Amino acid sequence: MLYLQALCGSAIADGDANIKYAWEYIKGLFSRIISSIENGMIEGMEKDPNSPPVGKCSQVLMDLVDMNLSVLNGIDPFDLHESIRTNLNELTGGKDQHIFQVEKLNLADKEAAQLHMRKYTLDICALLSVSFSFWPFDICFSICRCAVLWIWGRKYDFLQNMTDKTVPRALLESETRDYIDAGVLQNSPYFSVLREERDIDLIISLDFSDGDPFMMESLLLCSHDFHSDPQRSH
């Protein structure tokens, strides 16, 4: 069950591509949320004339998402940073802008640049959370924080601290487990178990691709290479 829980089902087994896809999806989600707010479809925004303008907060959020995408794509995000700085200055009255400076960002060092953006994103979200209270934006701040703190392939170990002596000690002591994503397009971990000498009774494939490619390819391999036809059910 632990391995089933930890299954990574990306299509391309590429952590960088996966996080780019996640940020692109977040960008689209934020655009829809902001559009709903601007069109009056989401209620709850106080009509206090002294409250910070929604448009400024929206722009900071979208610029922040674009900054993360720019760094992932190796593009200088300085113009986006300047836009964020300008809008934050209006939202906070010029106070509490103790955030990372992108002038120190070295895009040639990919890992360091992503760590820099993680701290930058967390700082921006913290400032916005204090300066701007509106539940749709609170959700957006939480999503940004989760995105920069997410580690692809890491799952919580639900066996931690159990008293069952049959469970390996490493599983009892670790809070999380890290797994390598094999990629559903490659299906690389599956075919190695199909050899006849392994005497496999059951293969569980969580494949939701169009046309059931894993099932079809497995049947072809079994029929032509291993001379067996495994029973299957849907």
Q: Do 65 and 80 form a contact (C-beta atoms < 8 A)?
A: no
Q: Do 203 and 230 form a contact (C-beta atoms < 8 A)?
A: yes
The tokens describing 217, both together, are: 């390819």
Q: Do 30 and 60 form a contact (C-beta atoms < 8 A)?
A: no
154-204 residue pLDDT tens: 777 888 888 888 888 888 898 888 776 556 555 544 555 555 655 656 666
| Domain end residue (candidates: 116, 149, 182) | 149
Rounded CA-CA distance 161/172 in Å is 5
Residue 65 structural domain:
15-149
Q: Do 29 and 200 form a contact (C-beta atoms < 8 A)?
A: no
Residues 30 and 107 in one domain: yes
DSSP state of 20: H
- Is residue 215 included in any domain, yes or no? yes
The tokens describing 97, both together, are: 């802008």
pLDDT above 90 covers a percentage of the chain that reads 33
Q: What's the pLDDT band for 234 if we cut at 50, 70, 90?
A: very low
Residues 134 and 215 in one domain: no
10-61 residue pLDDT tens: 556 677 888 999 999 999 999 999 999 888 888 765 555 555 678 899 999 9
34/226: higher pLDDT = 34
E-strand ranges in 69-206 read 154-156, 176-178
Per-residue pLDDT, 227: 46
Per-residue pLDDT, 49: 54
As a whole number, mean pLDDT of residues 106-135 equals 90
| Domain end residue (candidates: 149, 179, 204) | 149
Residues 125 and 201 in one domain: no
Across the chain, what does the average pLDDT equal? 77
The tokens describing 101, both together, are: 């400076």
User: How many domains are there within the chain?
Assistant: 2
Residues 23 and 86 in one domain: yes
Rounded CA-CA distance 171/157 in Å is 7
Per-residue pLDDT, 63: 98
Residues 39 and 126 in one domain: yes
- Is residue 89 included in any domain, yes or no? yes
Residues 204 and 132 in one domain: no
- Is residue 84 included in any domain, yes or no? yes
As a whole number, mean pLDDT of residues 197-225 equals 61
Residues 141 and 87 in one domain: yes
- Is residue 128 included in any domain, yes or no? yes
| Domain end residue (candidates: 90, 124, 149) | 149
- Is residue 48 included in any domain, yes or no? yes
Read off the amino acid at residue 225: D
- Is residue 168 included in any domain, yes or no? no
- Is residue 28 included in any domain, yes or no? yes
Coil, strand or helix: which one is 22?
A: helix
Rounded CA-CA distance 84/86 in Å is 5
